[in-house]
Amino acid sequence: MVEEFIGQGAVTRVRVLTGEDVDAERRGDKAPIARSECTYYCPDEATAKRVISALEESDKRLRERPEELMLWDWQCTYFEAEQGNPNGGGTVILGVAWYDEEFYADRKGAWFGAMHQRIYKDLGVPMEDIEVTHWRLDAA
C-alpha cells in the first residue's frame, strides 16, 4: 500500500529536530494557545543544512533561557525533499508553540523583523521563499 502512494508522488517528511510537541517532559504542563508553522524553501542541500543548523543553534540558545520556555517553544522541525530536485533542495518546516497570549500577540510577527531578515539573507533564503501561518488553538 505504501508503494502505491510513493508511486503517486507522495512526499516524505523527515523529522530532523525534536521539539516540544513530541517531548512530554519538555512541554510539561504548559498548554499552547497558538501554533505557527514556518516553511523555508531551500533550493539545494547546502541551504537546507544551513537552515537546519541555524534552527538547532537557536533551540540550544532558547533552552539556556528557561524563562522564555514558559512563553513559547520550538516544535519539531522537518525536511521535505523536493521531488526531482537534482541539488537536494526542499522545504524545511518548523513549528512554534505559543503559551502566553500577550507574548504571542507581541512576537508572532518577529519572523518578518530586521534581525530575522538578516539571518535569512545570511542563510541564503529570500523572504519570498518563507511562509508563516498562525493558528489559534481552542482550550480542551
Q: Kindly indicate the confidence band of residue 2, based on its pLDDT and cuts at 50, 70 and 90.
A: low
Q: Which domains does the chain have, with CATH numbers?
A: 13-136 (3.30.70.100)
* Average per-residue pLDDT for the chain: 91
Question: The pTM is what?
Answer: 0.88
Helices (H), 1-140: 2-7, 24-27, 45-63, 66-69, 101-107, 114-123
Reference 40, options 1, 7, 78, 70; nearest CA is 78
Instruction: Name the residue with cell 525536511.
Output: 79
Q: Rounded distance, CA 135 to CA 42, Å?
A: 24
Q: What is the pLDDT of residue 53?
A: 97
Contact residues for 81 (Cβ-Cβ < 8 A; gap 6+): 12, 14, 88, 89, 90
Amino acid at position 92, single letter: V
Which of the residue ranges 3-7, 69-73, 89-93 would you say has the lowest mean pLDDT?
3-7
Q: What is the mean pLDDT of residues 99-104?
A: 94
Reference 82, options 9, 3, 4, 2; nearest CA is 9
